[in-house]
Chains A and B, each alone.
Chain A
Amino acid sequence: MGVTLALTLTVLGSACVYLASPNQKWLTRALPGRPALVAGCLLLAAGVAAWIAVLQPLAGFFVALHVAMVCLFVFPYSAALRSFGRKNEHAE
């Protein structure tokens, strides 16, 4: 339960940070920059706190950091793969 909550908060926080970027490709328009970024940071902070509650402080911090890192490169790649697939469909 604790791990699921911590993971969800970290993934959601990373998604908010990504969606706040003008370079995001998930939505036709990026979320309003500052509020989305603040929400993302708050969710990430809550994620860190939740991981620390499940593990020890140092391990909790590092797990949150690594999960966020994975999310922050997987999100742009997932969007790029989608647009790559669409381009191939149009080409065919």
Chain B
Amino acid sequence: MIRAEIVKHYKTVHTWTGITCGFALFIAFYAGALTMFQGPIARWASPPAVGVAAVSLDNASRLLELVAAASPQARKDGIKLHLRGHENEPARVTWEEDEPHEAGQPHGHVHWWGTLNPDGTLLAKHEEPSELAEFINDIHMHVGIPRPWGAYFMGVVSLLYGVALIAGVIILLPSLVKDLFALRVGKNLKRMWLDAHNVVGVAALPFHIAMALTATALSLSGPLWSAQEKVIFGGKQAILDNLDNEPFRVPKPTGDPGAMMPPAQLLQRLKVQVPDLEPRFLVFKNFGDKAASVRVPGAQSGYVGDTHLGGVMLSAVTGDVLKDASLPSRQDPDRRASETFYGLHTGQYGGGTITWAYFFLGFSGAWLFYSGNLLWIETRRKNARKGGKVEQSRSTRLLGSATVGVCLGCVAGLSLTIVAAKWLHGHVADLNAWHAYIYYAVFLGSVAFAFALGAARAAVQLLWLCAVATMAIPLTTLLAWTLPVLDMWAHGSAATIGVDVVAFIGALCFAWMAIVTARRVKHGPADSIWSARAGALSPTE
């Protein structure tokens, strides 16, 4: 039996770590849940182009030759040959070139795609791909704080999140078995929020422990590596980095021309040598040289780990496997362990089932922090006695406003920035920058609105904003489909329609929450920050 005094101490630790980190964790979990469908969102946001089908795999050799001849940098750095025909693959081949810059200075890249004209010549077009999905992922990782501080901040937040989890478990231990799965909906609102918080926290505890550990490690990996270099390796870490990079190092070009194996044959050779690898694309380096190579990133079914780095390198001349040390089944135990660790954070294993499970667990995590704040507010509510007026404390009102503004501002901001991908395409010079402007404008505006109006009034209106902004996602697709004059697009693949369907369901959920919240604001206990009736104080009072 744990002494009540100890439980009390842990309650304080749990409360304050939760309150201080809750906002950042809400954003990280909500955006993280969306990031589980990064691919479909990128496809939804990508304008139609010529597509992969414009050049068959049999004609791809000719296209590669033309691109290699036209762009020496692409020939050296890599020409990507797309295979899947997704909407965010604008053409059969794409490549990048450096923007003009001084040697050794940081610089951007220009993105190109290429296809064949009817007469067999190269048609190359410069077009920046949509970075909407990357922006959402960036919000997930850094909650909008510029690098590298955002990563450091989230590292510390994740560490405190781990502390909050441990403290939360210790608080719950005395009543864990008795209250397991209890969710009592009734007049005792504090009890209800406590149950709602605990059900998610206990049922999804292993997920949260994994997230706290992996997020801390991932966010603080830079400083941790630097510390290791100084304390443990003493300047020898470069040797390890060298070993790590070995699977990706391409053979040096010989300068002698070589006959390239056609991509269709390369894929056949790959199938024979590594039958269970699902290739995502092919990257040709030093095309046309005797020592040309092809990197084939992809997933091996059943392995927990990153599909972005894993894969093989083939000879572009013979199709033989040159390097396969980054393949999940061939990785060293230490590399496999770190990939598993990373994979547990990103949910890149087990196909659609785990993607959906992480999606729901991500939302449940966001709810955990939102309900934690509501619980804190409810616990500190001063009850009206004998019909007398009651004044809720300033801290309670401020936290209520901040909870509503930050959480709902993040939801509305992300939905509206997704919608902007179609409405602003072709109308603004730098759409990727506009994604950030829109998100931050809505987010900061919502926070200001919540503080100006108070939690009760702002919650209803911001929930309606979330519902409308999220509903605008499928409505935009519907408008694009019915009114071609708008010059938008409506892709017909299951993945992109899935984005619309999920957004539609999400919008209905927000609308339902807005209706229920409005009812509480109108008819709920007047001695609450969630009431707009007389007796409850507005934040300006």
Contact residues of A with B, CB < 8 Å? 3, 7, 18, 21, 23-25, 51, 54-56, 58-60, 62-63, 65-67, 69-70, 72-77, 79-80, 83-84, 87
- Chain B 450-464 per-residue mask, 1 if CB under 8 angstroms from chain A, else 0: 000000000000000
Question: Is the CB–CB distance between B304 and A3 below 8 Å?
Answer: no
For chain B residues 350-365, which have a beta carbon within 8 Å of chain A?
350-351, 353-354, 357-358, 360-361, 364
Residue of B nearest to A18 (CB): B181
A18 to chain B, nearest CB (A): 6
Interface assignment of B483: CB less than 8 Å from any CB of chain A: no
Whole-angstrom distance from the CB of B364 to the nearest CB of chain A? 6
Bound-state CA distance A76–B183 (Å) is: 6
Query: Assuming A23-B180, A66-B358, what are 18 further A-B pairs, CB within 8 angstroms?
Result: A3-B353, A21-B180, A21-B181, A23-B183, A54-B302, A55-B350, A56-B304, A58-B303, A59-B304, A62-B344, A66-B207, A69-B357, A70-B361, A70-B364, A73-B204, A76-B199, A80-B183, A80-B185
B360 to chain A, nearest CB (A): 5
Task: Tell whether A24 pairs with B185 under 8 Å between CB atoms, given A59-B303, A59-B350, A69-B203.
Answer: no
| A76 proximity list for chain B (CB < 8 A) | 181-183, 199, 203
Contacts A59-B302, A62-B344; A83 near B360 (Cβ below 8 A): no
Q: Give the residue name and chain of the B residue nearest to A10 (CB).
A: B353
Set A3, A21, A25, A56: member contacting B351, Cβ < 8 A = A3
CB contact under 8 A between A65 and B179, given known A7-B353, A59-B349, A73-B200: no
Taking CB atoms, residues of chain B closer than 8 Å to A75 are 181
In Å, the complex CA distance between A62 and B305 comes to 12
B319-369 interface with A by 8 A CB criterion: 340, 344, 347, 349-351, 353-354, 357-358, 360-361, 364
- Complex interface: chain A residues within 8 A of B340 (CB): 58
- Complex A-B: 12 CB contacts under 8 Å: A7-B353, A21-B180, A23-B179, A23-B180, A59-B302, A59-B303, A59-B304, A63-B350, A66-B354, A69-B204, A72-B204, A73-B199
Report whether A55 and B357 are in contact in the complex, using a CB–CB cutoff of 8 Å: no
Residues of A within 8 A of B349 (CB): 55, 59, 62-63
Chain B interface residues (CB < 8 Å from chain A): 179-183, 185, 196, 199-200, 203-204, 206-207, 301-304, 340, 344, 347, 349-351, 353-354, 357-358, 360-361, 364
Instruction: Enumerate chain B residues within 8 angstroms of A59, measured Cβ to Cβ.
Output: 302-304, 349-350
Contact (A56, B183) CB under 8 Å given A3-B353, A66-B358, A73-B203? no
* A67, A70, A84: most-surrounded residue (chain B CB, <10 A): A70
Chain A residues, Cβ within 8 Å of B206: 65, 69
Residues in A neighbouring B196, C-beta threshold 8 A: 77, 80
Query: Chain B nearest CB: distance from A14 CB in Å?
Result: 9
Q: Of A24, A54, A58, A73, which contacts B304 at CB under 8 A?
A: A58
Measured between alpha carbons, how far is A28 from B361 in the docked complex, in Å?
A: 28
- A87 near B182 with CB under 8 A, answer no
A77 close to B199 (CB less than 8 A): yes
Among A25, A62, A70, contact of B183 (Cβ-Cβ < 8 Å): A25
The distance from the CB of A90 to the nearest CB of chain B, in whole angstroms, is: 12
Instruction: Report the minimum CB–CB distance from A81 to chain B (whole Å).
Output: 9
**Which chain B positions have C-beta within 8 A of A18?**
181
Q: CB-CB < 8 A to A21: which residues of B?
A: 180-181
Partner of A55, one of B204, B301, B344, B347: B301
A87 touching B360, Cβ below 8 Å: no
- Select A87's contact among B185, B303, B344, beta carbons within 8 Å: B185
A60 to B364, CA, bound (A): 22
A66→B361 contact, CB < 8 A: yes
Q: Given A77-B183, A80-B185, A62 and B351 touching (CB < 8 A)? A: no
Top-8 shortest CB links A-B = A56-B302, A55-B302, A73-B203, A23-B182, A72-B203, A63-B350, A66-B357, A80-B183
Contacts of B301 in A (CB 8 A): 55
Residues of A within 8 A of B354 (CB): 62-63, 66
Contact B353 A67 (CB under 8 A): yes
Q: Is the CB of A62 within 8 A of B304?
A: yes
Asked whether A62 lies within 8 Å of B350 as measured between CB atoms, the reply is: yes
A79 touches B361 (CB 8 A): no
In angstroms, Cα B180 to Cα A77, docked, is: 13
B302 near A74: Cβ-Cβ < 8 Å = no
| Set of chain B residues within 8 Å of A51, measured between Cβ atoms | 350
Give bound CA distance, A57 to B329, whole Å.
13
